[in-house]
Structure 1
Amino acid sequence: MLSRLFSPPAVALLWLLHFLPLRILAFLGRGLGRLLYYLARRRRMIATVNLAWCFPELNEAQRIQLAKANFEALGRSILDRGIIWWGSRERILRLIKVDGEEKLHALLAAKRPIILLVPHFFGLDAGAMAMSMRFDVVTIYAPQRNAVFERVFYKGRRRFGNQLMLTRQDGARATVKAMKSGRPFYYLPDLNYRRRDSIFVPFFGIQTATISGLSRLSKAAGAAVVPCVTRMLPGGQGYRVEIGDPWADFPTDDVVADTTRMNAWIE
C-alpha cells in the first residue's frame, strides 16, 4: 500500500511537509491515517479480521477503535519519513532517542556478530535510521515496484555511514559474512514469506506460518540476538529505540521452539 502512495507529486509534498514542526506533522499524519482507514477498504478488512482473531475478548467497538488508532499511527509514520529521509542529522538525533546503545558496543568490542530482532512496527524506519547513524549495519530489503518509492527509500536508508542493503536474492551467506565482518544485522522477521521456508507456530494463540530464519542465521553466524523495539511517542515527542539484553539461551537445537519464542516476544 505504501508504494502506491509515493508518486512524484506526493514525494514533493512530503519533502515540503518535513520542514514543519513535529507536533504539527503528527497532527496531519493522524488525519491522513483516518482518511486511509476509510479509503483502504482491503487493508481495513485485514486489520479488523486480525484484531478479531487475536483479541476475541474485545467487543466490536473496541476493535474498531484499535483499528483506527493503527491507521492513525500509519499515517503519522508516512509523514515522519520526510524528516527521516531529508531532515538534518541534528534534527533526527533530537527526534529519535536510543536506550541501550552500550550493549551493542560491548558485543562489537568482543567481536560477537549481532542480530537486532526488530518487529514490523511503524517505527521500524526511525529505528533503522537511528542505528545507521551509529553503526554500519546490514539489512535485507524488498525492492519496490514503484520506481519513485524505490529510489527515495534506498537513498534514504543509506544517508549516513556505509550501510549494506541486501535483497533476498543475495542469500543467507552474504548476510552471515556481513555480520561476521562486524555489521549488526537489522533483522525484520516476516510472519509469512514462502511456504517452503515456513513453519507453523502459535502467534496470539493461532497457528501461523512463520519463517525460521532467526534461529538459522543466529546459529550460522554465532550471533547474539538482541531485541530492538522502536516506540512512536505521543504528539511531537518523536521516537524511542529500546535495545534489550541479548538472549543468552538462543538459539537452541529446536527451531520450532526458537520461532515460537520469537513470536511470543513480538506479541
Structure 2
Amino acid sequence: MTMKDNWQARLIMRLWQVLSQRTPSTLWRLASRFEPVYSLIGVRERRITRMNLRQAFPEVSEQTRRQQIHDSLRHSIATMMELGFAWQGDPEAVEKSIVEVHGRELLDEARAEGRGVIVLAPHFGNWEILNFWLSSHFPFTAMYEPPKISALDPVIRHGRERMGASLVPTTSRGVAALLKALKRSEAIGILPDQVPDWGSGEFADFLGYPAYTATLLPRLVSRTNARVVTGVARRREDRRGFDIHFLKADERVYAQDDDALSARGVNASVENAIALDPMQYQWEYKRYRRTPGQRENVPGWREQRFYKQGRGGRKL
C-alpha cells in the first residue's frame, strides 16, 4: 500500500467514525450542503449522470434534467455519508432508522416453503442499510470484493458482517457457497446492475438500451428452487430514515434455458425498483460501458461508445 493510500484510508476511516454518530436527517442536510460543491468538482460524475438520465428520461426538459442531476448527486453523496452510520453506528439506532418494511412476506413465505431467497439488490437508496436489515433478520450470504485501498478492507468487512452476514469471494468458490446457502433455505444477495466481466453476461434491454447483464442468476435458479425478489432501502420523503421494499421479481428471471431472457427479467426488476423514486438510483455508474459490437481485448479500445457519443451517435 502506498503512502497516498495509507493517508486516504486514515482520512476515510476517521470520516466514517465521525459520521457514524449522526442521524440520517443530519447526514441528508450535510449532503444537500455539499452537493453544489460536488457538482462543480465532480465533472465526470455529473457528465455520466446526465448521459444516463437522458437515456432514461428522454422526454423531460433541460431544466428538469438539471434538477434531476442535482437530486441524483445529492442522494449519492448521502449514500457515501451514511456508510459510517450503516457500518459503525449503534445497531439499535440503525434498526430504529428503518421505519417500515414492505413485502417481508415474500421472504417469510419462501422460507416457510423450504425455499431459499435470492435478493436482487440494485444500487438504489442505501444498499448497506438493506444489508444491515437482511443480516439482522435472516441467515444472509453475499459476495464481497475487497476495496482497492486494502487498509479499508477490515473496516468494510466488519461493517457488513457485524449483524451476521456471511461474505464470500467473487469466485467459483463464492458461487458454490451461495448455492449451499440457498439449499439451506437461506437468503443471498446479488448486485443485478453491476457490469460483469466478458463471458459472464448477456446483453439485455435496460431503460431502452442494451446493457451487459450478469447471468449468474439463472445458474442459481436452475440448481435450486429459490424465489427471486428485488430489495431496496429507500430514503423516506422526510429523510429521517428508510423504508425497506421487497418486490416480486419479473417472471422472466426464472427462464432457466434462455440467459438473455432471464437477463431482461433482471433488468425489468431493477426498473421496477427505480420507479419507487428514480433519483435515488445511482445514475453516475457506467451501466452501459460494455456495448454490443465491443469485443474483449480489442487493442486501443479506451472509451465506450455510449459514453463517448451518446445513444444514436449524438454527442452529449
User: Quick check: TM above 0.5?
Assistant: yes
Match of 1:47 in 2: 49
Letter matched to residue 195 of structure 2: N
Q: 1:111 aligns with which of 98, 114, 117?
A: 114
Q: Distance in 1 between matches of 2:253 and 2:203?
A: 19
TM-score calculated relative to the size of structure 1: 0.89
Match of 2:66 in 1: 64
Match of 1:262 in 2: 266
Report 1:1-267 matches (<5 A).
7-97=9-99, 98-161=101-164, 163-169=165-171, 170-245=173-248, 250-252=253-255, 253-267=257-271
Structure 1, 130-139 or 243-252: larger mean CA deviation: 243-252
> CA offset at residue 266 of structure 1?
1.3
> CA offset at residue 235 of structure 1?
4.0
> CA offset at residue 215 of structure 1?
2.0
3-state DSSP class of the match of 1:112?
coil
Whether the aligned pair in 1 keeps the contact of 2:201 and 2:213 (CA below 8 Å) is yes
Whether the aligned pair in 1 keeps the contact of 2:117 and 2:182 (CA below 8 Å) is yes
Cα root mean square deviation, aligned: 2.3
Letter matched to residue 262 of structure 1: V
Whether the aligned pair in 2 keeps the contact of 1:138 and 1:179 (CA below 8 Å) is no
Q: 1:31-80 CA deviation, whole Å, 9 max, x = no partner?
A: 23333222222222111111222222123332221111111001111122
3-state DSSP class of the match of 1:195?
coil
Structure 1, 140-149 or 243-252: larger mean CA deviation: 243-252
> CA offset at residue 159 of structure 1?
0.8
Question: Structure 1 residues 90 and 246 mapped into 2: Cα distance closer, same or farther (>3 Å)?
Answer: same
Letter matched to residue 219 of structure 2: R
Structure 1, 55-64 or 201-210: larger mean CA deviation: 55-64
3-state DSSP class of the match of 1:133?
helix
Whether the aligned pair in 2 keeps the contact of 1:34 and 1:71 (CA below 8 Å) is no
- Kindly tell me the number of residue pairs found equivalent between the two proteins: 264
Letter matched to residue 107 of structure 2: L
> CA offset at residue 115 of structure 1?
0.3
> CA offset at residue 239 of structure 1?
0.9
Q: Distance in 2 between matches of 1:158 and 1:69?
A: 31
Q: Distance in 2 between matches of 1:171 and 1:13?
A: 31
Q: Distance in 1 between matches of 2:6 and 2:247?
A: 35
- Over the matched positions of the two proteins, sequence identity in percent amounts to 25
Where do 4+ consecutive residues of structure 1 move more than 3 Å? 3-6, 245-250
3-state DSSP class of the match of 1:122?
coil
Q: What residue ranges of structure 2 are gaps of 5+ in the alignment? A: 272-316
Q: What residue ranges of structure 1 are gaps of 5+ in the alignment? A: none
Question: Structure 1 residues 94 and 242 mapped into 2: Cα distance closer, same or farther (>3 Å)?
Answer: same
Letter matched to residue 139 of structure 2: D
Q: Distance in 2 between matches of 1:9 and 1:53?
A: 36
